[in-house]
Structures are given as structure tokens and as C-alpha cells.
């Protein structure tokens, strides 16, 4: 049996209820008020954790990048994120985060992040991996854009740096994900290869009935955690 992982009062494992992560991503549209409203929505939905994405664009992005202006509009300051983080804590929800640079990761550690999410783009980034390992918090490791040897190297690196609790997250880096690209059976492959709990992050079109069916199917394939993007209203046609 794969070792369960405890995060405060919540447990992720084979004999426990499926762990639900509400992924805020960029659904806040760069507005801290909307970000706080999203926390309320996640709390009412009884998600186990809410996950945010924090970055400082100047550190990792060139102004010539085609999406630089869009990223600028979506970026929240650390003071704004503090308002969101404090609200998450008041709602007694777990606070997860993906930090895209060392500056942001340190900020998240200082403010009591409960677990880290490693984005697929950073699975081979030793600078990020080493920094998120420092507080020895559980780490959700995205595998959707990685080869098996890259996943193994990341796990080995995290263990060498003191992280015992790693949850692998299967998903496809396509937005929206086509039904034929989900490859849910790979959840079983990851469990067999690495002996770790595996979750699924869902990028299926939110307007499709499959947006409700695919995550349930993922649980049937052995996913112990489901990460689901959520928004305030589909009528607004926002970025996420």
C-alpha cells in the first residue's frame, strides 16, 4: 500500500476520500477583489484546498515575449496576494501555491503555504526544486509535459533535499484538453513506476459534459487528488 500523505487534518491516500484542489490560476483576471470572491466560491464548494499561482514577471519573462502585456494585466502584487492568503486561512482551507520564481517562492514560504505545486515547466528546474524543498512541505509534481526519466530525476532531487511527501499529478498541457489526449490509464502507470500517490489535473473544456465526467473517471483509474480550475461565471468569458 502506498503511504498516505497528511497535510494538517487532511489525508491523501488510497483509503481516504478524493482530495479536491480548487485551482484559481488566472481566473481572478488580475483583480484582487475577484480573487477573494473566488476563495468564497471554493469554500462554499467545500474544496479541500485552494491553489494560487504567484510570480514576479520581471524575474523570468522578457518584455519582448508575446504575452508579456497579458501577464502584466494578470499579475497581483504581494500585498494583494496577502489579502487573498489571509482570506483562505480565515476560511480554514489549505493553502497551496505554485511559485514561478525564487522571489515568489520565498514569499509563499514566509506566509505559511501548506503545500507546493511544481508546474510542468519547472520539473527540470533545479533552482525552483531546491527552493520549494527547503520548508519540506508536501509537493504536487506536475508530470503532464515530462518524460519518465525527467520525473524520476525530479523525485530523486526532491528526496535528496529532504522532501518525503510527493504526489504526482497527471494531466495534459493542452487547453482545452481533447478527450483522446487525457490518457487516464497513465495514472496507473505512474503509480506502478514510482509507488507514489497520483492525482489528476483537469483541463477539459468547462462547457462540456466531459468536464464533470473525466475527473470522476480519473478517480476510477486511481487518482487520489483532483485539481479543477474554477471561475466566478462562465458568462464573463474571462482568461481562464
User: Could you tell me the pTM of the whole model?
Assistant: 0.94
pLDDT under 70: residue ranges of the chain: 234-235, 237-240
- Going from N- to C-terminal start, the domains of the chain cover 21-236
Helices (H) and strands (E) in the chain, counts: 9, 10
Assess contact for 166 and 156: CB atoms under 8 A: no
176: preceding bond cis by omega (within 30 degrees): yes
CATH number given to 21-236: 3.20.20.70
* C-alpha distance from residue 192 to each of 34, 102, 141, 196, 234 (Å): 41, 33, 16, 8, 38
Cell of 80: 494583494
| pLDDT value, residue 234 | 67
Question: In 45-147, which residue ranges form alpha helices assigned H by DSSP?
Answer: 57-60, 68-74, 78-90, 102-110, 126-133
| pLDDT value, residue 240 | 65
| pLDDT value, residue 62 | 84
- In this structure, what are the phi and psi dihedrals at residue 210, rounded to the nearest 5 degrees? -65, -20
Residue with cell 510527493: 166
Closest alpha carbon to 151 in 185, 182, 193: 193
Residues in the chain: 240
Tens of pLDDT, residues 20-50? 999 999 989 999 999 999 999 999 999 999 9
Amino acid at each position: 500500500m502506498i503511504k498516505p500523505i497528511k497535510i494538517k487534518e487532511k489525508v491523501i491516500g488510497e483509503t481516504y476520500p478524493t482530495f479536491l484542489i480548487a485551482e484559481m490560476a488566472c481566473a481572478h483576471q488580475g483583480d484582487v477583489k475577484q480573487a477573494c470572491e473566488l476563495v468564497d466560491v471554493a469554500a462554499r464548494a467545500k474544496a479541500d484546498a485552494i491553489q494560487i499561482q504567484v510570480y514576479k514577471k520581471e524575474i523570468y519573462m522578457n518584455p519582448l515575449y508575446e504575452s508579456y502585456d497579458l501577464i502584466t494585466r494578470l499579475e497581483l502584487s504581494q500585498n494583494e496576494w496577502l489579502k487573498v492568503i489571509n482570506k483562505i486561512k480565515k476560511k480554514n482551507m489549505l493553502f497551496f501555491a505554485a511559485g514561478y520564481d525564487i522571489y515568489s517562492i520565498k514569499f509563499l514560504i514566509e506566509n505559511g503555504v501548506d503545500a507546493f505545486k511544481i508546474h510542468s515547466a519547472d520539473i527540470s528546474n533545479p533552482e525552483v526544486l531546491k527552493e520549494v524543498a527547503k520548508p519540506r512541505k508536501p509537493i504536487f509534481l506536475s508530470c503532464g509535459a515530462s518524460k519518465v526519466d525527467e520525473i524520476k530525476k525530479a523525485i530523486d532531487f526532491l528526496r535528496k533535499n529532504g522532501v518525503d511527501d510527493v504526489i504526482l499529478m497527471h494531466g495534459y498541457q493542452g487547453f482545452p484538453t481533447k478527450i483522446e489526449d487525457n490518457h487516464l490509464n497513465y495514472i496507473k502507470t505512474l503509480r506502478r513506476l514510482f509507488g507514489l500517490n497520483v492525482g489528476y489535473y483537469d483541463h477539459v473544456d468547462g462547457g462540456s459534459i466531459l468536464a464533470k465526467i473525466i475527473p470522476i473517471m480519473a478517480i476510477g483509474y486511481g487518482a487520489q487528488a483532483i485539481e479543477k480550475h474554477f471561475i466566478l461565471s462562465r458568462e464573463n468569458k474571462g482568461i481562464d
